[in-house]
Structure 1
Amino acid sequence: MEFVDLHCDTIKAVADGDGDFPSGQGLHIGLPQLADANVALQVFACFVMATGKPEQDYKSCKEYLAAIDDLVASHSEQLSLVRSKADLQTLVEARSKGRRLTGIVKAIEGAVPLQGRVDLLDEFYQDGVRLLTIAWDDNEFCGTVFGSGGGLTALGEQLIQRCNELGVVVDVSHASDEAFWNIAEITDKPFVASHSNARSVCANERNLNDEMIREIADRGGMIGLALGSGFICPEYYVHDKQNRIRIIEGFKNGTMTNEKAERLSEEALGSLPPAQIGQLIEHIRHFINVGGEDCLGFGSDFDGVTGLIADASGIGVLPGIAAEMVKSGLSQKVVEKICSGNALRFFGEQLA
């Protein structure tokens, strides 16, 4: 079984010195884990929280993108950039001959680095960016679930249109409900929710309601299963939400550090039982019932989320989840679609 993951924050952790990619130490995703889990394609999201200094936010994103290039150049036998349909085909052919090669797709999580300028998307496209999560928190383009809850701005409408023109996949995870429907109305291409689960199973506002699931599926889009317990388990989510609000507010007002955030999360969530794989399978069955078997994949949020699903220390958990999916009665064909087939087909259709 091979796997595709639509979202991780690993490159920020690597570039910020919080983990060692070649050994995998300190990370949910490192070079050994990608090989051991047989990951065919990994989307690396460059996340930049707004600092109030737009030029610095832009610079930070450029540094993360350059760090991806450095990783691929340093480990060219194991990693390859995927920027086009041709790149993807080359990857698939190499893997069909037995080579354990992982393709890397560059993404930006939150349009903060664009500094409110739609034209900067062209520059990031030239840097290899092929997926854009429109907003993590409110920005000049879009309101978010945990922000104002507002929709797209006029600039946001222009940004969606430019994404379509260039061939940048639009990602609605973190966008508000209103913005979701604004995007659905404007975009003429399939779009994704790279790391969002089913709101009917766990009432996390970051999850998708049934109408959203149907819309993405009917449009030929993709949904990535997030592996944080707060996305999966209703009881865990109640505590996770309170903790997250406190941490985000601290980062925004400058009183929070990564170390402090980790300590607060451990205090708030450390004694809670994690979500179980069986609960994730409830989400999977709900997605299949509502949207069908062709819209679903993984969007782990590894190296960007605390409180992982049970028995997970990183991406190495994916084969175990696949095995449990089969044990639960899902067919091998459906499991293979969710693990990699749907996402490989999607990128094969959407990349230029």
Structure 2
Amino acid sequence: MDPKTLPAVFDGHNDVLLRLYRAGGPAAAETFLTGDAGHIDLPKARAGGLGGGFFAVYVPSEGGEDNEEAMAQDSYDLPLPPPEPQDHALTVAMAQVATLERLEELGALKICRSAAEIHISMVEHKLAAILHMEGAEAIDPELITLDVLHGAGLRSLGPVWSRPTIFGEGVPFRFPSDGDTGGGLTDLGVALVRRCNALRIMLDLSHMTMAGFWDVAKHSDAPLVATHSNAHAICPHARNLTDAQLEAIAASDGMVGLNFATAFLRPDGRMIDTGLDDMLRHLDHLLGKLGETRVGLGSDFDGAMIPSAIGSAAGLPALRAAMTAHGYGPQLIERICHGNWLRVLEKTWGH
């Protein structure tokens, strides 16, 4: 299947910047142009019809987070790492932002600050990148860093990854479970939400506790968005969204990006390979609860084990072919691939 004849994919989440940071930061950026062992690089993006996505800035925990073996079990409840100090987190975050800027300098992508810029980049077949932060550890209590990062292009932020921050708590990697695992937003978290609203920075609810989700729903005036989460009704994992949460997202005219991580797809919650049928089950459920204009893709490329039938960004045509075979029409597939992301970003950013 020729990716040039398929609708381009705009992806809700990748961890390319973390992978490049571990490989040397900005100095490793050139490997993205020629190809490497990761899920996303320029040759794989072109082969698979990947038009762009959210490039996450993420600060890894000092002890590491290699949880795949534990998450391959029938049940698990992994302890969360402690909070990261703000000064260390800021240093790591700046290295990853600099890496994204280096990729732009090399002509690999365009850092986009508006839905119009994303559309133009995709038409010109240049990767459209949103600067996103997964966890706000690098941001100070006074939110000065947030304003500076916004000036550098930050347009999307998750207040927490799964470990706690001064802004709130995240869900653990626990199966079976729902997201009712801890506290919600702190007072600083409420202030962060309001400042993000003022700056038109999209808020990502993917890793938040259930309490945090409802706190954002209460205090935010923007559409509710989970960039890389799945349906709890299909896979009862703490990281997945209940039907009540999906209904709140629909009511706000927000959206959800389907996470490709196998542990969040499989009904048994195991981080082992799975087929595309599990992805289609989640898509069916999300479409049923959210409607056809509020579902997209949020792969978690370079951050998780994904189905071998896809393998990397080069394998995205397999998912589009599976959606066609499943009975999704061309208009719906185009919406899922990129149209819905452009819609919610334009509504959130205001331009």
TM interval, short-chain normalised: 0.7 to 0.9
Q: In the alignment, is the contact (CA less than 8 A) between 1:58 and 1:115 conserved in 2?
A: no
Deviates more, 1:2-11 or 1:13-22: 13-22
In the TM superposition, 1:140-219 aligns within 5 A as 140-146=166-172, 149-219=182-252
- Could you tell me how far 1:23 is from its partner in structure 2? 2.4
SS at match of 2:169: coil
Match of 1:248 in 2: none
Give the % identical residues: 29
Match of 1:60 in 2: 92
Pair 199,101 (structure 1): closer, same or farther in 2 beyond 3 Å: same
Structure 2 runs not aligned, ≥5 long: 1-6, 63-83, 174-180
1:2 counterpart = 2:35: no
Distance (whole Å) between structure 1 residues aligned to residue 85 and residue 160 of structure 2: 17
SS at match of 2:193: helix
Structure 2-normalised TM-score? 0.84
Distance (whole Å) between structure 2 residues aligned to residue 331 and residue 348 of structure 1: 24
1:100 counterpart = 2:164: no
Distance (whole Å) between structure 2 residues aligned to residue 204 and residue 310 of structure 1: 21
Q: 2:21 aligns with which of 12, 15, 20?
A: 15
Distance (whole Å) between structure 1 residues aligned to residue 302 and residue 61 of structure 2: 19
Match of 1:35 in 2: 46
In the TM superposition, 1:191-270 aligns within 5 A as 191-235=224-268, 237=269, 239-240=270-271
Deviates more, 1:226-235 or 1:11-20: 11-20
Match of 1:79 in 2: 109
1:78-116: CA deviations, max 9, x gaps? 521101244235325xx1xxx321111100000111143
Distance (whole Å) between structure 2 residues aligned to residue 223 and residue 38 of structure 1: 21
Match of 2:66 in 1: none
Letter in 1 for 2:342: L
SS at match of 2:216: helix
Match of 1:262 in 2: none
- Could you tell me how far 1:118 is from its partner in structure 2? 2.3
Q: In the alignment, is the contact (CA less than 8 A) between 1:163 and 1:170 conserved in 2?
A: yes
In the TM superposition, 1:116-155 aligns within 5 A as 116-136=141-161, 137-146=163-172, 149-155=182-188
Runs of at least 4 residues off by over 3 Å:
49-53
| RMSD of aligned alpha carbons | 1.7
1:198-237: CA deviations, max 9, x gaps? 00000111011111111112212121111111010022x2
- Could you tell me how far 1:318 is from its partner in structure 2? 1.9
1:271-305: CA deviations, max 9, x gaps? x4x12101110000111111111111110011111
Q: In the alignment, is the contact (CA less than 8 A) between 1:50 and 1:57 conserved in 2?
A: no
Distance (whole Å) between structure 2 residues aligned to residue 298 and residue 71 of structure 1: 23
Letter in 2 for 1:276: G
Distance (whole Å) between structure 2 residues aligned to residue 233 and residue 280 of structure 1: 9
Distance (whole Å) between structure 2 residues aligned to residue 154 and residue 58 of structure 1: 21
Structure 1-normalised TM-score? 0.84
1:25 counterpart = 2:40: no
- Could you tell me how far 1:341 is from its partner in structure 2? 0.9
Q: In the alignment, is the contact (CA less than 8 A) between 2:143 and 2:192 conserved in 1?
A: yes
SS at match of 1:113: coil
- Could you tell me how far 1:123 is from its partner in structure 2? 1.0
Pair 140,289 (structure 1): closer, same or farther in 2 beyond 3 Å: same
Q: In the alignment, is the contact (CA less than 8 A) between 1:141 and 1:155 conserved in 2?
A: yes
Deviates more, 1:147-156 or 1:199-208: 147-156
Match of 2:178 in 1: none
Match of 2:297 in 1: 298
SS at match of 2:307: coil
Distance (whole Å) between structure 2 residues aligned to residue 53 and residue 218 of structure 1: 36
Pair 86,312 (structure 1): closer, same or farther in 2 beyond 3 Å: closer
SS at match of 1:69: helix
SS at match of 1:294: coil
